[in-house]
Structure formats: C-alpha cells, structure tokens
Amino acid sequence: MSYVIPFDENPSAAVEGEEARYPIRRIFCVGRNYADHAREMGHDPDREPPFFFLKPAWSIVAASADVPYPSRTSDLHHEIELVVAIGEGGSDIAAGDALSHIYGYAVGVDLTRRDLQGEAKKMGRPWDTGKGFDASAPVGPVVPAAKIGHPDAGRIWLDVNGKTTQDGDINQLIWNVPEVIADLSTLFRLEPGDLIFTGTPAGVGPLQRGDKVTGGVDGIGEITFAVV
C-alpha cells in the first residue's frame, strides 16, 4: 500500500512464540468492572450494565517501551487490566459462543489522566482526553488461547517501583469475558484486531516521571515500562 502522505504502519502487538504480529483495529475498554474499584471511585457496584469507551488504536505502546508522561495532567493513573484479543468477528455474539471469537489474551495498562477524566465526568463531557491520549495503552505480548486456553481466574497485580499497589483476581470481574463480548457485540460488530481492556481492580493511583511499572496476570504474562 502506498499513501499520498507519510503514514505509520498499522499498530500491532507482539505475539508470544510467533514472528507474525497481532494487528490492532480498535481498543475497547470496559468501565468499572471490579466491585472494589467501583467503590474506590465512589460508585455502587451492583450489576449496572457494562459500559464502554474507546482509545485510538494508535495509542498502543507495544510491549515494554517507555511511556512519556502525558501533557496537561498532574494526575496520571495506572489501571492494570486483562486484555482480550479478538480473532474472529461477529455481531450479537452469544455469551456461550464468545470464547471461540478470542485469538488470545494480554496484559495491558489503561493509563488515565484522572484529573481530566474527573472534570469530564463532572461536566457531562466525553472521556477521550482523559483516556484516549497518545501512549495511553501499554500492552504486553498477546498469548494465543490455543496455548493457554481461556483463563477465568488468576491474580492480577501491579507494582510501582517494586511496591504492590493493585492486587486482585480476574475471577472478580463483575462482567466476565463472555458477557463483555456478548454485550459489546450488540453495540459494535466486533472484528479481528479488536482489543478489549476488561477493567481494573482496586488500588489505582498516580504515576510520576521515573516510575518503573510492572504488572501481570498469572497464567498470561507481565508488562514492564518506565514513565519518562
């Protein structure tokens, strides 16, 4: 393909054990999907329907590159998340069929300008500047489900400079992965290359320049990056 202007290649993520990469089409994110995180953000976690927001595909930071501290915030927060990588598209996918649409899983961090997100919430404005900024989506290598199956339990954790700040289990998801895919696919036709960040457990908090972040989901992998 040639273009009339200089243009980056499509963003992609590494795949564990493969030379070929996982192409990224869209990045969907689920809001408030762990009860303890909903509570820490001041909400009642009774099963309100899942809600979604998006980050641009180009906001991805592939495996373990440095993350620049973003502009116009003084409250950059980390949110460690289980990420689902869609392999086969579909609309109105039944929860019972959802797992067959998954290529694999990864560990990601939903970086958030909490101050801008808070202002947007207060004003009833969109979340894009709080959530969808450049380099807001560090994602580790995608691990094929063909290798690890479909984990529905396992520790999810994040350390800042070696100190654990988030510590939960993916079995605490309010809406589990099949339910998220079922609901999201009624709003959008899911396509190969779509990533879904499934939400974060409690313990979100600020990052500073110079911080070293390491997080993981047991059975899937880890991600490490520095804020620079």
DSSP annotation of 195 reads E
Which residue, 51 or 94, is less far from Mn ion as judged by CB?
A: 51
CA–CA distances in Å: residue 137 to residues 5, 58, 78, 141, 180: 26, 9, 10, 13, 19
Residue 8 CB, nearest distance to Mn ion (Å)? 25
Half-sphere exposure of 8 (CA within 13 A, CB side): 8
d(CA 223, CA 1): 32
d(CA 55, CA 44): 25
Rule CB under 5 A: which of 156-195 touch Mn ion? Answer: none
User: Which region among 4-12, 14-22, 71-79, 214-222 touches Mn ion (by CB under 5 A)?
Assistant: 71-79
Residue 174 CB, nearest distance to Mn ion (Å)? 13
- In this chain, which residue has its C-beta nearest to Mn ion? 110
Which residue, 110 or 159, is less far from Mn ion as judged by CB?
A: 110
List Cβ neighbours of 86 (8 Å cut-off, separation of 6 or more). Answer: 101, 102, 103, 181, 190, 191, 192, 193, 194, 195, 196
Which residue, 79 or 183, is less far from Mn ion as judged by CB?
A: 79
Residue 7 CB, nearest distance to Mn ion (Å)? 29
Residue 62 CB, nearest distance to Mn ion (Å)? 19
Which residue, 37 or 101, is less far from Mn ion as judged by CB?
A: 37
Residue 139 CB, nearest distance to Mn ion (Å)? 13
Residue 209 CB, nearest distance to Mn ion (Å)? 22
d(CA 198, CA 102): 13
Q: How many residues bind Mn ion (CB under 5 A)?
A: 3
Which residue, 110 or 183, is less far from Mn ion as judged by CB?
A: 110
- Rule CB under 5 A: say whether 114 interacts with Mn ion: no
Query: Could you say which of 79, 159, 183, 194 contacts Mn ion (CB under 5 A)?
Result: 79
Query: Could you say which of 73, 76, 104, 110 contacts Mn ion (CB under 5 A)?
Result: 110
Which residue, 43 or 147, is less far from Mn ion as judged by CB?
A: 43
Half-sphere exposure of 74 (CA within 13 A, CB side): 0
Which residue, 15 or 84, is less far from Mn ion as judged by CB?
A: 84
77 membership: H or E segment, kind and range: strand 76-78
Residue 91 CB, nearest distance to Mn ion (Å)? 24
Binding site for Mn ion (CB under 5 A): 79, 110, 200
